[in-house]
Structure 1
Amino acid sequence: MVTVSGGRPRPWLSTLDPELRQHIQNCPCPCDHMGYGNYLDYQIQQCPHEYPNRETSFNVPHYYNGVRDYYHPYDYQTSIDSCSCSSGSDASKATFRGPWCVCLVVCIVVATLTAGLGLPLALSPREPPRTSEERLVLVKKLLKETPLIDGHNDLPWNLRKFTHNRLFKLNMSAISEEEPWSTSKWSHTDIPRLRQGLLGAQFWSAYVPCKAQYLDAVQVTLEQIDVIKRLVDYNAEHFSLVRTTEEIKTVHKAGKIASLIGVEGGHALGNSLAVLRTFYNLGARYLTITHSCDTPWATGTNTKTQEGLSDFGRSVIKEMNRLGMIVDLSHTSINTAKAALNVSRAPVIFSHSSAFSLCNSSRNVPDDVLKLVAHNGGVIMVNFYTHHVTCNDTATIQDVINHINHIRTVAGIEHVGIGAGYDGINMTPSGLEDVSKYPYLLAELLADPSWTEKDVLSLAGLNLLRVFEQVEEVRDKWKRADVLPLEDAVPPMHNPCSSLYS
């Protein structure tokens, strides 16, 4: 009986080529030898003394299939000679003679040809879905990987109007069948339609009307933040309040809708940086600098002056950067937007605005500002209100796509998002009637060969996630630098509704 190193019987060795038989019999490597004991069936040599220690090699970058990685066994292939399977004889050292070496060469050639033929197939683009049904299936798959994030929804204000913020008996899964929700042109949101719309994250607006300025704006804002948090708590099966980008991702993976708070209108601050900090501590993650009205420190879209930000207004932007609060420029005047872009050290957003070149509403963003936002790294989140899409009472899903494409052309795909404004608008485009329709918008974009799956994901949520992450990075950097809270104040105002101690 013929045996190999280690004493295991191999009766078929006597039938092999003498040189190959001698190699197998004397090879110290514990290899299977392709059924004979040859290491060729592994494509890499498996001599234990040649493997690197994974612990000591983990931090060394490597590339596998074009992707940067920190460990893969193919990174550690060794040469044939590095694991010497010699018997001490000249015959066994002749590593490039004999049928086993021919087999090695054949395997290498076959592997190379296979890789060469397979690479073009791997790099060739996948055939796009042809029908709307196929595109919707693809959208559903994509939105399981990346959250669809809407920048603005005014449901909290409708809760105040319709229920006076009383939520205990409110069934958010059935309000579309109840008065006044079922007949109101301002109502587009409930849990079933949110689920149909595949929404991954929503900025809920803590809106305060301009008429509350100098009166009870701070109180009303606090009440709106409170109703948002209670709405989330009462519907915890579907919603989860989040404050960070990581929490958005975690909640999305858990199958819930990540809920964020945005304060709409700088008059909600009552001219106080302390109130701004309080809102942030309560969970607010963006502030819309103005609404339709001016504040003592910033001008809104309806202003007739050429002013932008005052010194205190610039302090508001800096304090938001320090806190990690996103600067929202929807509703601001052009001069306020430009001033804020000049001051902010973090990316900004327009949470619900469209392109001025296609509809010259004062709420929309001119091309020169679109370019400034791109330079800043920010995002313009396209609004669905027909008066901001076509400047009249009617619009279509294609009209919204035109705005998205225009912003993409001027600013770049990295700087466009979605901020529909549902429940704060009373006229919506056909095809985008409520929160269930987001997938149809993305499916229509995929029908355009110029839109890739990556582009759609950037629009849907990746761009906003990037902005939020960079806002957090600025916050963390300033924290490490021990940047202290600002203590600036607006010059004293003679307001009959203010105390003498303001």
Structure 2
Amino acid sequence: MLVGACGSEEAGSPAPADSGRDPLAHARVVLDRTPIFDGHNDLPWEIRASEEAPMDVDAYDLNLPVPGHTNLELLEAGGVGAQFWSVYIPGEYADSGFARLQLEQIDLARRMIDRYPELVLAGTADEVEAVMADGRIASMLGVEGGHAIENSLGALRTYYELGARYMTLTHNVTLDWADAAQDTALHDGLSAFGEEVVREMNRLGMLVDLSHASPATMSDALTVSEAPVIFSHSSARALTDVPRNVPDSILARMAGNGGVVMVTFVQPFVNQEAADYDDALAADIQAMRDEGRPVGEIRSEIDRIRRESPRPPASIDDIADHIEHVRRVAGIDHVGIGSDYDGMNAPPEMPDVSSYPVLFARLIERGWTDEELGKLASGNILKALREAEAAAARLQGERQPSTAAIADFAGSAP
């Protein structure tokens, strides 16, 4: 892929969209100069869960057509120059060996990266830009859910050493030290140990990811963090009222923190009708369970509902609306892209990772300048990453690695 190095700003005055130029061709030129750095792609779990050859990175050949959203040809067509690969593991089941599963997923992701010369593991913002300038895809890992550390700061440090450059504080389950957006709150945000997790992430230079966190957890993390935070795959709650999205009260604090909200393409997170459909379907499922209906019968009924009354699709304009809302409330320096490809049912107009130019063409039609598009594509997240690295260098001169245990803190479950 012939892509250039990316910076947070281009020299000279902003270049407005040219109404006489084809927007899609214009978008491809922009992304050749300032490639996409996407905040969240679940390809490693897609490989792990593959029916044909689970966990086999050789069998899931990215040089060929794949059942999911991501292969090398599609990444090149999409103008992708860097990717946070999610090393997600489920957090819904207690006592399931989270650390073992996490190490397996990190190993799988690193084997995937090592298999292809087009992918290069990167550890810093400078390394990301160097890989982009070489025409390849810089690859960083993102741990999706603090359950993976099993209440151990030593495990957190180990994941960093293995390539993780962000950790989502929670997934869908409230932890011993942090409340999740879609579960019962136990701590009114972060517990005292949760605050220590954030401080240790700052000291490491690991970005604090607040997607999936409750608003109180978001707020506490912003208060404690001495480095930029991110939302790796979330959208605006003011437009689509679901727990996974970011309230305006939090968006308004992003400028003061220096962080980035990376807007996701998940359909019920960017379209209210799709969200309402999912809520109604979930209520139907629960009602059938309460009636004691067999699992097979419930599945058949859900298939019938989806077939006869499909979920309303999200559109490119829905995604663009969320991007523009984040820009308006948080600021142009605090918005990015976090698609969640291979972890969702993709919008019909954005079916796979080749689709980014189509979205950028729509933003060009809405009047975005080349400078603004460059910040959205990768400039903002690179700036946040670089600032987190600078904070880590300072903090490592001030304090040693934390040896705190959760039992040392009142208000954190043992």
TM-score (norm 2): 0.83
Task: Report what 1:272 is aligned to.
Answer: 152
Task: Report what 1:397 is aligned to.
Answer: 316
Higher RCO, 1 vs 2 (CA within 8 Å, ≥6 residues apart): 2
Task: Report what 1:489 is aligned to.
Answer: 405
Q: 1:256–1:228: structure 2 CA closer, same or farther, 3 Å change rule?
A: same
Task: Report what 1:443 is aligned to.
Answer: 361
SS at match of 2:123: coil
Are 2:394 and 1:477 equivalent residues in the alignment? yes
Partner Cα distance (2:48, 2:239) in 1: 34
Runs of 4+ in 1 over 4 A off after TM superposition: 122-127
Partner Cα distance (1:194, 1:246) in 2: 21
Partner Cα distance (2:259, 2:95) in 1: 31
256-265 vs 472-481, which moves further: 472-481
Bigger CA radius of gyration: 1
The answer (yes or no) to whether the contact 1:151–1:419 under 8 Å persists in 2 is yes
Task: Report what 2:305 is aligned to.
Answer: none
Shift in Å, 1:168: 2.6
Q: Which runs of 5+ in 2 are unaligned?
A: 1-10, 275-310, 409-413
Shift in Å, 1:125: 6.2
The answer (yes or no) to whether the contact 1:317–1:327 under 8 Å persists in 2 is yes
Are 2:310 and 1:409 equivalent residues in the alignment? no
**Which of 356, 369, 381 is the equivalent residue of 1:464?**
381
| Paired AA for residue 350 in structure 1 | F
Are 2:252 and 1:252 equivalent residues in the alignment? no
The answer (yes or no) to whether the contact 2:209–2:231 under 8 Å persists in 1 is yes
The answer (yes or no) to whether the contact 2:17–2:370 under 8 Å persists in 1 is no
Partner Cα distance (2:226, 2:20) in 1: 44
Shift in Å, 1:308: 0.9
The answer (yes or no) to whether the contact 2:14–2:370 under 8 Å persists in 1 is no
SS at match of 1:320: helix
Are 2:305 and 1:424 equivalent residues in the alignment? no
371-380 vs 141-150, which moves further: 141-150
Shift in Å, 1:277: 0.2
Q: Which runs of 5+ in 1 are unaligned?
A: 1-66, 68-121, 182-186, 493-501
Partner Cα distance (2:205, 2:235) in 1: 25
Partner Cα distance (2:318, 2:19) in 1: 23
Task: Report what 1:199 is aligned to.
Answer: 80
Shift in Å, 1:477: 1.1
Which whole-Å deviations, capped at 9, do the CAs of 1:58-80 have from their partners, x for residues lacking one? xxxxxxxxx8xxxxxxxxxxxxx
Are 2:157 and 1:289 equivalent residues in the alignment? no
Task: Report what 1:231 is aligned to.
Answer: 112
Are 2:226 and 1:374 equivalent residues in the alignment? no
Shift in Å, 1:212: 4.3
- Counting only pairs closer than 5 Å after superposition, residues 61-100 of structure 1 correspond to structure 2 as none
TM-score (norm 1): 0.69
Report the number of matched residues: 359
| Paired AA for residue 265 in structure 1 | G
Shift in Å, 1:472: 0.2
Task: Report what 2:7 is aligned to.
Answer: none
Are 2:195 and 1:307 equivalent residues in the alignment? no
**Which of 20, 26, 35 is the equivalent residue of 1:138?**
26
164-173 vs 201-210, which moves further: 164-173
- Counting only pairs closer than 5 Å after superposition, residues 344-383 of structure 1 correspond to structure 2 as 344-383=225-264
Which whole-Å deviations, capped at 9, do the CAs of 1:239-287 have from their partners, x for residues lacking one? 1110100110010011111111000000000110000000000010000
464-473 vs 384-393, which moves further: 384-393
The answer (yes or no) to whether the contact 2:47–2:60 under 8 Å persists in 1 is no
SS at match of 1:349: strand
Partner Cα distance (2:231, 2:165) in 1: 14
Identical aligned pairs, as a percentage?
Answer: 42
Partner Cα distance (1:221, 1:285) in 2: 14
| Paired AA for residue 456 in structure 1 | L
Q: 1:344–1:363: structure 2 CA closer, same or farther, 3 Å change rule?
A: same
**Which of 90, 94, 117 is the equivalent residue of 1:209?**
90
The answer (yes or no) to whether the contact 1:240–1:251 under 8 Å persists in 2 is yes
Shift in Å, 1:211: 2.8
RMSD, matched Cα: 1.9
Task: Report what 2:297 is aligned to.
Answer: none
| Paired AA for residue 360 in structure 2 | L
The answer (yes or no) to whether the contact 1:202–1:257 under 8 Å persists in 2 is yes
Partner Cα distance (2:93, 2:81) in 1: 32
Shift in Å, 1:423: 0.5
Partner Cα distance (2:14, 2:90) in 1: 54
Q: 1:244–1:332: structure 2 CA closer, same or farther, 3 Å change rule?
A: same
Shift in Å, 1:124: 10
Partner Cα distance (1:127, 1:135) in 2: 8
